[in-house]
Amino acid sequence: MWARSVSGSCVPSVASGQMGNTQTVIMGHYLACAIVSNGQSKCWGYNHYGTLGIGGTSNKGDNANEMGANLPYTQWSQPVQYISGRSFASTWALMEDGTIEGAGYGTDGGFCVENSYNQYTPVTVNTGSKVVKSLIGGKWHVCILADDDQGTEQLYCWGQNAYGQLGHGNSDSNYGTGSDQCGDYLIPTDLGSNLPEKKLIAMGTDHTCVVFVDNRMKCWGRNHKAQLGLGHRTDVGRASDDMGDNLPFVDIGDWVPKEVHMTFAATCLFTTTDQVVCWGFRSDGHCGVPGDDSYIGDEEEHMGNNLQAIDFGSHTDGSKISITNGVWTSALLCGSERSRRCLLGQM
């Protein structure tokens, strides 16, 4: 799973107007986008950096006569396959032909267009000759999965790198604004040798995680709240010896992830047993597990089979279960006809 969507049945009709059948809804930090059957999209919410991709910087959805037929389409050059981005600042889309376009905040190089300007309408992201298989956007950084020249599947990331979230093994503050950083100059993230195929990729605000098909997991980036689950609270990915075979696997014990969801300060697994386990900032309820420690995952004994599943009470009516997340919160969605939202934590 590369991007999490919520059923279009939850979208109020006022959002879409006469745009056709809503296929997918994507939630960012302060905005949302709906994709319809013809591959067009409409986005609403915070637009200070041009994130909605409609030209200009006016927010949409907070005043009368801004929604429905009055809400403009995002100005993509062609139909989109899906939209990614957990940010209030940037939005990226994988296009029908496999290219990537983006709009919004450009200072950190998130659009790889060799400048640091904000983009008020979508621009084509320079990924060179790479054929993009998957796209996942974070708050300030973005990654793609693509084959290199030898046909080996690689993870390529660019954008902000203040905490090592790109996995480049350096402390450069950002990557993607220089002529020698984009296109075929994109650097593959070194996750180590003799690894199987990647099963899941997920991003928090400033950290990144990969689950492989053998259900082992690696995470890197910001770790001030123990969100990497590595038994300490030191950032990983900024030093040359952090990555590759030196990057340890996260100890998730016998838990088998089928989804990974990440907030600013926590990482959660939705497991094959339909349970949720989290680590990171325990205070304020982020991990959904009561306790005296401020963090889960800053000590090795917190991890593995010691990870506690969150208690959601009874939901054994045979309904479907899914999990979604925001900047500071996560939610379990459970219900057959109408979803019940069970908050895990709040700011």
Interval 159-190: pLDDT, tens: 999 999 999 999 888 899 888 999 999 999 99
Question: By mean pLDDT, which of 13-17, 285-289, 304-308 is the weakest?
Answer: 13-17
Q: Which domain holds residue 114?
A: 1-189
The reply to whether 115 and 30 lie within a common domain is yes
The reply to whether 241 and 175 lie within a common domain is no
The reply to whether 75 and 123 lie within a common domain is yes
The per-residue pLDDT for 324 is: 52
The per-residue pLDDT for 72 is: 95
The reply to whether 146 and 27 lie within a common domain is yes
Helix ranges (DSSP H) in the chain: 13-16
The reply to whether 36 and 136 lie within a common domain is yes
Boundary (domain end) residue, out of 189, 217, 251: 189
**Tokens, residue 71:** 């809400």
Q: Report the CATH number that the domain containing residue 280 is assigned in CATH.
A: 2.130.10.30
The reply to whether 182 and 217 lie within a common domain is no
Question: If you average pLDDT over residues 31-41, what whole number do you get?
Answer: 90
Q: What CA–CA distance (Å, rounded) separates 103 from 113?
A: 11
The per-residue pLDDT for 336 is: 36
The reply to whether 185 and 277 lie within a common domain is no
**Tokens, residue 199:** 């099963």
The per-residue pLDDT for 229 is: 98
Distant-in-sequence contacts of 279-282, Cβ < 8 A, 24+ apart: 279/226, 279/227, 279/229, 279/303, 279/307, 280/225, 280/226, 280/227, 280/229, 281/225, 281/226, 281/227
3-state SS, residue 210 = strand
The reply to whether 84 and 180 lie within a common domain is yes
The reply to whether 40 and 167 lie within a common domain is yes
Question: How many separate domains does the chain show?
Answer: 2
The reply to whether 104 and 214 lie within a common domain is no
The reply to whether 317 and 220 lie within a common domain is yes
Q: Is the pLDDT of residue 84 over 60?
A: yes
The reply to whether 215 and 185 lie within a common domain is no
Boundary (domain end) residue, out of 139, 169, 189: 189
CA 278 vs. chain centroid, Å, equals 16
User: Is 95 exposed, middle or buried, given 0-12, 13-18 or 19+ CB atoms closer than 10 A?
Assistant: buried
Question: By mean pLDDT, which of 14-28, 164-178, 266-280 is the weakest?
Answer: 14-28
Share of the chain above pLDDT 70, in %: 84
